[in-house]
Structure 1
Amino acid sequence: MSILRKVPLTMLRAFEAAGRTGAFTAAATELDLSPSAISHAIRKLEDLLKIRLFQRSTREITLTKEGSLLLEHVQRGFGEMQRGLSLVTADESRPLRLHTAPSFAHQWLLPRLGDFIREHPQIDLRFSASTEYARFEQDDFDLDIVYGEPRPSPYEKLPLAVEELTPLCSPALAESISRPEHLYQQTLIQCDVQLFQWKGWFEANNLTPPRHYGLRFDRSFMAIAAAVDGLGVVLESKLLAEREIASGRLVCPLVSSTKEIHYIGHYMVFPRHQHRHFALEEFKSWLLEQLNLAQLR
């Protein structure tokens, strides 16, 4: 008799959820069961297979070598089943639900989205933008693009692009800025949620940071718009300000005479295997290709 016939699907679901989340309690919440039911199902699975799948302690569970190997194949199998069900049911028409950091969406993603829609007319998209993390546990979203290092979680995280921070301003304002010291006479625009701010840029260039900043925003897209309007000099990512730089509305007056700050600004976060949307891989591949093209320019 095939061993698969002896193993109920419910046991494999409990094992996959526990292995992916790293906790019986998280797996129980996801599957709407009790932690003891998850633990009991996995114990029965271990008895059936005659192998130990988890190392248990009072505080945590960790997959054994055999458990990691089984999890990889079980997740692959669930992924194929999900894909098959999507193809033969109305689930194929469910929109791909994307959550993203607001400024990344406004400044970089939305201007390119037409290309993806033309290439994949069969994929419906639903967008939401906020600084909160997307919720995958309740199956609210399929993918999240977050600003900054993501918090620890059982989900996959993928760094997107190395971004470059440099002072940006309108061409008219740039005429009075030829040395970094000239910034002391300018209105400096600061984005309060940015990982690296003016203080760090001045220190990186061996300059004393000013104590006063003329304008402060909580979104990069507003800070960039203010700089375009000539209201001051903004320290911003050239990736986010790509359109404004390409059109000449913003320039980099000190790019050849000062140090830029390089950092990974955005990450892609998504569930490992379970509940994946059929179009997730297509969107991921397209997004990474577009980011690669942007950095080659």
Structure 2
Amino acid sequence: MRHHLPPLNALRAFEVTGRTGSLSAASRELGVSVGAVSRHVNLLEDYLGYKLFLRQHNGMLLTQGGELYHDQIASAFDLIDNASRSRHVGTKHAIRFRAYTSFATDWLSPRLPDFRRRHPDIAVQLKQSLNETNFASEPIDAAISALPVLQRDVLSVDLFNTIFLLVCADGGTRTRALEGDFFSADAPPILFARRERPFWEQYFDRMNLPAPPFANGLEFDNLSLTYQAARNGAGIALGQLFLVADDLMTGRLVPAARAYVELDIPHRFVYRTGRDASTDVNALKCWMLDQASQTKAQMTKIRAELDHL
């Protein structure tokens, strides 16, 4: 069957730009110039007939159509990658692990060297995606999910619950936030990702404040980018406590308000069972539970300090 495919180099440039949120980061990963990446993205937009990105001063923001298309073609690249890896005879099978961007970037990646030291014979192939994993149809061994597990031959263990608090770099921004100054003309901007607007609204409601000033804030494609901007002093981010616990313990970020909001949204390690089960995946699960327990100890300490601010 003949396939109707856009230029593959353009697809690759789009996939990397969408994943990193930056033309510069994409150019470094692909080994080409920023201009070349931009031309490939423009070529794909012309081919499809609609815009894939909103060009902003702080990065490349996927449009609604671009986000949907990116999720679909990212899965296709995963399949190609897995098929290519499987052709290497004698290569040990890696754990195919999927996590959403902020979990992979801010919590898991800094800890993976420890897993490597403890289990040098186990490889982990980490994929980032916002999609829920369908274990019946996708070549994934384990994943992170915030939804109930309803699939056959799949189990889960809880790692963290959802706790939000405001964070920023230490200094004047924190002083203004602690005073509740979010709405004056020169108030520090809020840093938010498009998917977390409802959580901002719940947090401000908890503080008995009006709706968050999104119009005066800076919007990013994912939580990791908001955290990085907050570390750089750009404003105030809504921190998922387990994701920013390391930053709070080291002082890279500080609490910007006393209040925190706890929601009944557990973050789970989800994995195959039955005949598709893997002893390597079980080792990864046990290691993640151990790492999570250490992070939860940090979270308990941080919450105690918040109560005494």
Q: TM-score, normalised by structure 1?
A: 0.63
Deviation at 1:113, TM superposition (A): 0.7
Alignment of 1:15-34 (within 5 A): none
Distance 1:246 1:131 in 2: 28
Distance 2:283 2:97 in 1: 13
Q: What per-residue deviation string (whole Å, max 9, x for no partner) do you get for residues 216-247 of structure 1? A: 22311011111111111111112111232222
Give the AA of the match of 1:131: L
Matched residue, 2:205: 203
Matched residue, 1:223: 226
Alignment of 1:38-57 (within 5 A): none
Matched residue, 1:236: 239
Deviation at 1:139, TM superposition (A): 5.8
Matched residue, 2:58: none
Matched residue, 2:17: none
Q: Is the radius of gyration larger for structure 1 or structure 2?
A: 1
The answer to whether the aligner puts 1:178 opposite 2:166 as a matched pair is no
Give the AA of the match of 1:191: A
Give the AA of the match of 2:275: Q
Gaps of 5+ in 2: 1-88, 299-309
Deviation at 1:150, TM superposition (A): 4.2
Distance 2:197 2:283 in 1: 30
Deviation at 1:195, TM superposition (A): 7.8
Partner residue of 1:149 out of 147, 150, 153: 147
Matched residue, 1:133: 132
Give the AA of the match of 2:167: L
Seen in structure 2, the aligned counterparts of structure 1 residues 102 and 259 have a Cα distance that, compared at 3 Å, is closer
Distance 1:187 1:168 in 2: 12
Is residue 189–residue 233 contact of structure 1 (8 Å, CA) maintained in 2? yes
Give the AA of the match of 1:108: W
- Report the secondary structure of 1:161's partner residue: strand
Matched residue, 2:274: 273
Is residue 164–residue 260 contact of structure 2 (8 Å, CA) maintained in 1? no
Give the root-mean-square deviation of aligned CA atoms. Answer: 2.2
Seen in structure 2, the aligned counterparts of structure 1 residues 275 and 195 have a Cα distance that, compared at 3 Å, is farther
Alignment of 1:246-265 (within 5 A): 246-255=249-258, 258-265=259-266
Query: Identity percentage over the alignment?
Result: 24
Is residue 189–residue 223 contact of structure 1 (8 Å, CA) maintained in 2? yes
- Report the secondary structure of 1:111's partner residue: coil
Matched residue, 1:75: none
Matched residue, 1:288: 289
Seen in structure 2, the aligned counterparts of structure 1 residues 259 and 294 have a Cα distance that, compared at 3 Å, is closer
Gaps of 5+ in 1: 1-89
Distance 1:131 1:197 in 2: 17
Matched residue, 1:22: none
Alignment of 1:75-114 (within 5 A): 93-114=92-113
Q: Which of the two has greater strand per residue?
A: 2
Distance 1:178 1:263 in 2: 26
Deviation at 1:273, TM superposition (A): 1.6
Is residue 163–residue 260 contact of structure 2 (8 Å, CA) maintained in 1? no
Deviation at 1:158, TM superposition (A): 2.6
Deviation at 1:102, TM superposition (A): 1.2
Seen in structure 2, the aligned counterparts of structure 1 residues 263 and 218 have a Cα distance that, compared at 3 Å, is farther
Seen in structure 2, the aligned counterparts of structure 1 residues 138 and 282 have a Cα distance that, compared at 3 Å, is same
Give the AA of the match of 2:201: K
Is residue 97–residue 143 contact of structure 1 (8 Å, CA) maintained in 2? yes
Q: Which has the higher mean CA deviation after the structures are superposed, 136-145 or 259-268?
A: 259-268
Is residue 158–residue 268 contact of structure 1 (8 Å, CA) maintained in 2? yes
Q: Relative CO higher for 1 or 2, CA cutoff 8 Å, sep ≥ 6?
A: 1
- Report the secondary structure of 2:166's partner residue: strand
Is residue 149–residue 155 contact of structure 2 (8 Å, CA) maintained in 1? no
Deviation at 1:149, TM superposition (A): 1.6
Is residue 102–residue 223 contact of structure 2 (8 Å, CA) maintained in 1? yes
- Report the secondary structure of 2:255's partner residue: coil
Matched residue, 1:119: 118
Distance 1:271 1:124 in 2: 17
Deviation at 1:263, TM superposition (A): 4.0
Matched residue, 1:193: 195
Q: TM-score, normalised by structure 2?
A: 0.61
